[in-house]
C-alpha cells in the first residue's frame, strides 16, 4: 500500500492520454490505403511484361547531359525513393538538374516464375538503357542501383560497360559471406530449390517474416507506441504512414531469380569471386571500369556495410569513391540526412562526371 | 511374411504409421486390382480411375502424417528457442529495473532497457547457427506438407480432366523461353537500328 501511494499521478495521466490517442486515431489520420505514394509527376515511357520505365518530369531546366536510370530493389517498391516531397530522392535529383528515369519491376505472377537474372539484367534493364539512349541521343547513361537493385545493376555494369558512363551503388548486396545481418543467416540455411520447386515465386509473406525478425521489439512494438503517442503531430504521422504503407507492400520475387540470388550471393558467394553467371555470361567485376561511387550506411541492418564495401575494392575503375554514412538502410535514401548530405554529395560527384 | 498386426504394443509411432500405410495400400491395391477384373465391366472407366486416385490420395495423406511429426518437432524447437531467449532477456531486465516505477521518466527508462535487451538477445538468437538450422528445417518441412497438398490437388485436377501443376509449369516454361527469345531479337534489332541511324 505504501508503494502504491508513491506512484506518480503523471503515469495515470500518460496512460489515459495514450488510450485517448488510440481511440481518436481513426478520426485524425488517413488509412494507409488512402495515401498516394507516387509523389513526383512522371510518365510511363516503356512497358515490357510487368515492368514499367518511368520518366520524371523536370522541375528545373536539365543541367546535365547524361540521364540517370535508377534500378530499384526487388523487395518492396520504388516508392521509398519518392516517399514524400520533402524526403524524395527523385525530387532532389530533379532539383539538382538531372534527368531521372526509374525502372519499376512491377508485380510478377505465377506465370513469371521462370524469370531469372538474365531476364532482369540483359532483358528489362538493357531494354530500358536502350530506350534512354535513343531518347537522349547519348551513347552512355548514368546508372544507380539500390540494395538488390544494385546487384542487378552491378551485373549490368560488368556486362555492358560501354553503356554506363557513371555507376552509383547504394547499399549493394555483393558479398553474402561477409553479410552479418539476420537476413543473411536465414538465407544461408534455406533450401531454396525446394522452396521454388514447391511454391514458385518467393511469396511476400516470407519477406514479412524476415522483416519481423529485424529489431523485433523496436520495430514491432515501440514504433507503434510512438505512432499513437504522436498522433497529433501531422508531419510525423504522415511520414510514418507512408513508410508503413511502403513496408507492407512487397511484390513476390520470381522463383528462378530468387533461387539464383540466394544461391549465388548468400550461399555460394559467387559474385564477389567473379564466378557468377548471368545467362551464359560470366560476371567479371574488373570489367566495371567507369567512374564509380559506392554509398554505404554504417547502421544498415538489412545489408551490412561488410557486404557492400567489397564492391569498391573489386571493380576495375580507377576513378572510384566510397562514402560511408552514419545512418541505416532506409535512412540513407529517405531521411533528412539523405537530403542534406547523401544527395548533395552524390549530385556533386555525378555533375562533375555528367 | 509376418503379419504386421501380430506385432506387440511396444511399436514406435513410426512403425505404427508404417503399419497403417501398409494396411491402406493393401486395401486400395486390392480394390484397384479387383476393379480391373471382368466385374469392372459394369463400372465402366471412371470407377477404376476413382480407385487409382483414392490410392494416390491415401498415400499422400499418410505421408502428410509422417511429415507432420517432423514439422511438430521443429516448431516445438522454434518456440523453445524463442521462449528460452525471452526468459534470459527478462532476467537481465529484472536485474536492471526497479520493482515499481515511481514516475514517467522511470517508466520510459525501463521501457528503453527492456527493448534494448530484448532486441539484442533476440537478434543474437536469429543470427545463430542453431536458429538458422532449425528454421531452415522447419520451412523445409512446411514445404513438404505443401508438396503433398499440391500432389493431392493434382490428383483431383486430373480426375476432372484438368492439367496438373507440372503440366501448367511446362506451359509457363515454354512461354518464358519464347518470350525471352522474342525480346532478345527485338532488342538486338533496336540496337542495330540505332547503330545504322548513326
Confidence of residue B2 (pLDDT cuts 50, 70, 90): very low
Grid coordinates of B58 = 491415401
Residue B19 placed within a domain: yes
Chain A neighbors of B126, CB-CB under 8 A: 182, 185-186, 213
Q: Are residues B187 and B151 in the same domain?
A: no
Q: Are residues B145 and B176 in the same domain?
A: no
Task: Please tell me the pTM assigned to this model.
Answer: 0.86
Cα of B11 to nearest chain A Cα, Å: 32
The C-alpha atoms of residue A167 and residue B175 are separated, in whole angstroms, by 34
Q: Are residues B134 and B153 in the same domain?
A: yes
* Cβ atoms of residues A102 and A135 within 8 Å: no
- Closest-CA residue of chain A to B118: A217
Per DSSP, the three-state class of A345 is: helix
Q: Are residues B90 and B59 in the same domain?
A: yes
* Nearest CB to A114 within list B103, B118, B172: B172
Q: Are residues B82 and B134 in the same domain?
A: yes
The C-alpha atoms of residue A120 and residue A145 are separated, in whole angstroms, by 13
Residue B121 placed within a domain: yes
Enumerate residues 6+ apart whose C-beta is below 8 A from A340: none
Residue B93 placed within a domain: yes
* Number of structural domains found in chain B: 2
Cα of A215 to nearest chain B Cα, Å: 5
State whether the Cα torsion A188-A189-A194-A200 is positive or negative. negative
- Closest-CA residue of chain B to A128: B187
Cβ separation A110–B172 shorter than 8 A? yes
Grid coordinates of B54 = 483414392
Q: Are residues B42 and B20 in the same domain?
A: yes
Q: Are residues B168 and B155 in the same domain?
A: no
**Farthest-apart Cα atoms in chain B, separation:** 88
Cα of B149 to nearest chain A Cα, Å: 10
Note the pLDDT tens digit of each residue in B83-138: 999 999 999 998 887 766 677 788 888 889 999 999 999 999 999 999 999 999 99
The C-alpha atoms of residue A97 and residue A115 are separated, in whole angstroms, by 35
Grid coordinates of A316 = 576495375
The C-alpha atoms of residue A69 and residue A199 are separated, in whole angstroms, by 33
* Cβ atoms of residues B175 and A110 within 8 Å: no
First to last CA, chain B: 83
Confidence of residue B3 (pLDDT cuts 50, 70, 90): very low
Q: Which of B130, B132, B99, B94 is nearest to B114 (CA)?
A: B94
Q: Are residues B102 and B197 in the same domain?
A: no
Q: Are residues B117 and B185 in the same domain?
A: no
Residue B137 placed within a domain: yes
Strand A68-71 and strand A100-104: the pairing is parallel
Tell me the mean pLDDT in the region B43-56: 69
Instruction: Report which of residues B110 and B43 the model is more confident about.
Output: B110
Q: Are residues B148 and B180 in the same domain?
A: no
For cell 535508377, the residue is A70
Confidence of residue B37 (pLDDT cuts 50, 70, 90): low
In chain A, which residues touch B (CB < 8 A)?
Answer: 3, 6-8, 10-11, 14, 48-49, 110-115, 118-119, 122-123, 126-127, 130, 133-134, 180-182, 185-186, 188-191, 194-195, 198-199, 213-218, 221-222
The C-alpha atoms of residue A313 and residue A320 are separated, in whole angstroms, by 9
Angle made by CA atoms B132, B134, B135, in degrees to the nearest 5: 65
pLDDT of residue B48: 65
Confidence of residue B9 (pLDDT cuts 50, 70, 90): low
Chain A neighbors of B122, CB-CB under 8 A: 213, 216-217
- Closest-CA residue of chain A to B98: A3
* Nearest CB to A130 within list B114, B179, B187: B187
Backbone angles phi, psi at A2, to 5 degrees: -60, -40
Per the structure, the complete domain to which residue B187 belongs is given by 164-198
For cell 553503356, the residue is A163
Confidence of residue B4 (pLDDT cuts 50, 70, 90): very low
Q: Are residues B110 and B181 in the same domain?
A: no
Each of the 354 residues of chain A gets a pLDDT tens digit; together they read 444 556 678 888 888 998 999 898 888 888 888 888 877 999 999 999 999 999 999 999 888 999 999 999 998 889 999 988 888 999 999 999 999 999 999 999 999 999 999 999 999 999 999 999 999 989 999 999 999 999 999 999 999 999 999 999 999 999 999 998 898 999 999 999 999 999 999 999 888 888 888 888 988 888 899 999 999 998 889 888 888 888 888 999 999 999 999 999 999 999 999 999 999 999 999 999 999 999 999 999 899 999 999 999 999 999 999 999 999 999 999 999 999 999 999 999 999 998
Grid coordinates of B71 = 514439422
pLDDT of residue B121: 96
Q: Are residues B130 and B83 in the same domain?
A: yes
pLDDT of residue B40: 54
Options 3.40.190.290, 3.40.50.720, 3.40.50.10320, 3.40.50.1820; CATH of A25-351: 3.40.50.1820
- Answer whether residue B1 shows pLDDT above 70: no
Across the strands, what pairs with A297?
A325
Amino acid at each position: 500500500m505504501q508503494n502504491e501511494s508513491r506512484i506518480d499521478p503523471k503515469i495515470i495521466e500518460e496512460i489515459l492520454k495514450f488510450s485517448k490517442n488510440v481511440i481518436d486515431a481513426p478520426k485524425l489520420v488517413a488509412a494507409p490505403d488512402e495515401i498516394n505514394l507516387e509523389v513526383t509527376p512522371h510518365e510511363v515511357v516503356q512497358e515490357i511484361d510487368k515492368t514499367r520505365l518511368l520518366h520524371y518530369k523536370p522541375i528545373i531546366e536539365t543541367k546535365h547531359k547524361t540521364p540517370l536510370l535508377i534500378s530499384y530493389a526487388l523487395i518492396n517498391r520504388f516508392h521509398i525513393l519518392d516517399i514524400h516531397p520533402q524526403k524524395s530522392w527523385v525530387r532532389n535529383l530533379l532539383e539538382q538538374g538531372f534527368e531521372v528515369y526509374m525502372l519499376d519491376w512491377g508485380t510478377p505472377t505465377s506465370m513469371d516464375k521462370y524469370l531469372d537474372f538474365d531476364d532482369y539484367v540483359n532483358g528489362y534493364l538493357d531494354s530500358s538503357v536502350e530506350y534512354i539512349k535513343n531518347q537522349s541521343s547519348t551513347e552512355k547513361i548514368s546508372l544507380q542501383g539500390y540494395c538488390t537493385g544494385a546487384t542487378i545493376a552491378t551485373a549490368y555494369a560488368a556486362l555492358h560497360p560501354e553503356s554506363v558512363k557513371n555507376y552509383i551503388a547504394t547499399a549493394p548486396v555483393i558479398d553474402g559471406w561477409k553479410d552479418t545481418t539476420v537476413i543473411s543467416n536465414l538465407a544461408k540455411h534455406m533450401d531454396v530449390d525446394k522452396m521454388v520447386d514447391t511454391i514458385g515465386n518467393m511469396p511476400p509473406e516470407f519477406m514479412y517474416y524476415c522483416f519481423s525478425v529485424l529489431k523485433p521489439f523496436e520495430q514491432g512494438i515501440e514504433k507503434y507506441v510512438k505512432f499513437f503517442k504522436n498522433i497529433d503531430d501531422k508531419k510525423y504521422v504522415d511520414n510514418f504512414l507512408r513508410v508503413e504503407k511502403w513496408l507492407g507492400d512487397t511484390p513476390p520475387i520470381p522463383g528462378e531469380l530468387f533461387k539464383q540470388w540466394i544461391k549465388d550471393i548468400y550461399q555460394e558467394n559467387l559474385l564477389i569471386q567473379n564466378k557468377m553467371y548471368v545467362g551464359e555470361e560470366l560476371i567479371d567485376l574488373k570489367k566495371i571500369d567507369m567512374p564509380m561511387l559506392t554509398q554505404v550506411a554504417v547502421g544498415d541492418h538489412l545489408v551490412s556495410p561488410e557486404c557492400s564495401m567489397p564492391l569498391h575494392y573489386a571493380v576495375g575503375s580507377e576513378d572510384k569513391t566510397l562514402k560511408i554514412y552514419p545512418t541505416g538502410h532506409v535512412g540513407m535514401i529517405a531521411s533528412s540526412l539523405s537530403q542534406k548530405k547523401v544527395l548533395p554529395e552524390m549530385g556533386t560527384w555525378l555533375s562533375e562526371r555528367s | 511374411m509376418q503379419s504386421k498386426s501380430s506385432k506387440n504394443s511396444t511399436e514406435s509411432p513410426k512403425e505404427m504409421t508404417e503399419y497403417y500405410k501398409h494396411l491402406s495400400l493393401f486395401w486400395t491395391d486390392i480394390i484397384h486390382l479387383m476393379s480391373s477384373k471382368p466385374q469392372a465391366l459394369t463400372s465402366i472407366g471412371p470407377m477404376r480411375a476413382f480407385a487409382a486416385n483414392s490410392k494416390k490420395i491415401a498415400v499422400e495423406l499418410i505421408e502428410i502424417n509422417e511429415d507432420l511429426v517432423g514439422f511438430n518437432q521443429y516448431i516445438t524447437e522454434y518456440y523453445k528457442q524463442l521462449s528460452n531467449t525471452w526468459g534470459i532477456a527478462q532476467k537481465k531486465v529484472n536485474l536492471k529495473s526497479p520493482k515499481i516505477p515511481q514516475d514517467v521518466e522511470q517508466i520510459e527508462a525501463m521501457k528503453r532497457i527492456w527493448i534494448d535487451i530484448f532486441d539484442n538477445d533476440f537478434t543474437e538468437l536469429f543470427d545463430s547457427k542453431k536458429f538458422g538450422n532449425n528454421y531452415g528445417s522447419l520451412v523445409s518441412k512446411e514445404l513438404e506438407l505443401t508438396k503433398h497438398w499440391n500432389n493431392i490437388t493434382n490428383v483431383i485436377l486430373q480426375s476432372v480432366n484438368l492439367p496438373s501443376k507440372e503440366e501448367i509449369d511446362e506451359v509457363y516454361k515454354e512461354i518464358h523461353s519464347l518470350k525471352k527469345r522474342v525480346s532478345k531479337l527485338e532488342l538486338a534489332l533496336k540496337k542495330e537500328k540505332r547503330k545504322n541511324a548513326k
